[in-house]
Amino acid sequence: MVKGGQRTFGPLGTVLVIIPTYNEADNIELIVSRVRTAVHEAHILVADDNSPDGTGKIVDELAGHDDHVHALHRRGKEGLGAAYLAGFRWGIDHGYGVLVEMDADGSHQPEQLPRLLEALPEADLVLGSRWVPGGSVVNWPKSREFLSRGGSLYSRVLLGVPIRDVTGGFRAFRRETLEGLDLENVTSQGYCFQVDLAWRTVKAGCKVAEVPITFVERERGDSKMSRAIVAEALWRVTAWGVTARLKALARRT
C-alpha cells in the first residue's frame, strides 16, 4: 500500500513525481512545495545520490511531515539514468499508475505538470516540449539552445523518432508503458537516457504526445551538464542509428 493511501489523478491511478538529486539543498524544499501546490494529490519521490550538501536529510524532514513525500537514498552519484530507473522500480513496486520525470532545479516548472497529466489519458507517454509551438526556453545562451535543438534533430533523423524534443526530461509515463520497455537493459545516462527511453517507447508502438512548456534555466546551484554527457549521447545515438539501419537493410536482402 502507498503510504497515506491511494489518491488518483483521473482514471490512470496515483501520480508519482520522481526527482533525482545530487547537491540540491538550495532547491529541493521549494520544488517539493511547488509540486504539492500544483498537483496536490500527487506523491513525490526524491531519489538522492548521497548528496554531501545534506539534500537527503532535508528530504527526510519533509517526508516526516508530509505523507505524500518519500525519500530514496542511493549509495552515491551514479548518474541521472540510474536514479530514474531506481525511481521507476520503486514506483511500480508501490503501485503507482503514473510516473513523472522532473528536475530538482526548477527548470521544469511544476505549475505546468497538469498539462502533461491532462494529455496522458490519450497517450502512453507525454513529453513537456521546448521545441513545439508554444514551447520556449528562458535565460539560455544561444550555444545551449543550438546544442539542444541540434541534439533533438540529430536523434530524430538518425533514429526515425517523430518527436520534436527527444532530449527533454519533463515526462509523464503510464505505468504500463514503462513495464513494456525492458528497463533492466537500459544503461544510458544524461541526455542519452532520455533519447533511449523515447526511442524504446516509439519502437514498442506506443503513442507519444508533446505539450508545450517553458523551460527556465536554474538560478541556484550548479548544472550537471558536462562534455562527457554530450559525448555519450552523440556516440550512443550514432551507434543505435547505424545498427538499426544495418538491421533494416539486412531484412530487405
- Residues 107-151 have pLDDT tens digits of 999 999 999 999 999 999 999 999 999 999 998 888 888 888 988
* pLDDT of residue 5 exceeding 50: no
Is 241 inside any structural domain? yes
Q: Name the least confident of 97-106, 172-181, 213-222.
A: 213-222
- pLDDT value, residue 21: 97
Is 55 inside any structural domain? yes
Residue 228: pLDDT band (50, 70, 90) is: low
* pLDDT of residue 74 exceeding 70: yes
Output the domain CATH number for residue 94. 3.90.550.10
Percent pLDDT > 70 in the chain is: 91
Is 227 inside any structural domain? yes
Residue 223: pLDDT band (50, 70, 90) is: low
pTM for the structure as a whole = 0.90
Bigger pLDDT: 222 vs 59:
59
**Domain assignment of residue 80, given as a range:** 10-252
Considering its fold, how many domains does the chain have in total? 1
- pLDDT value, residue 244: 84
Is 3 inside any structural domain? no
Residue 243: pLDDT band (50, 70, 90) is: confident
If residue 171 lies in a helix (H) or strand (E), which one and from where to where? strand 171-174
> How far from 84 is each of 6, 17, 18, 165, 232, CA to CA, in Å?
22, 11, 7, 19, 18
DSSP class of 65 = H
Is 185 inside any structural domain? yes
Please give the Cα distance from 199 to 194 (Å, whole number). 9
Is 160 inside any structural domain? yes
Is 1 inside any structural domain? no
* Spatial CB neighbours of 127, under 8 Å, sequence gap ≥ 6: 116, 163, 165, 168, 170, 171, 198, 208, 209, 210, 211
* pLDDT of residue 3 exceeding 50: no
Is 4 inside any structural domain? no
Mean pLDDT over 199-205 rounds to 96
What is the tens place of the pLDDT at every residue in 12-37? 899 999 999 999 999 999 999 999 99
Percent pLDDT > 90 in the chain is: 71
Q: Name the least confident of 3-7, 97-101, 127-131.
A: 3-7
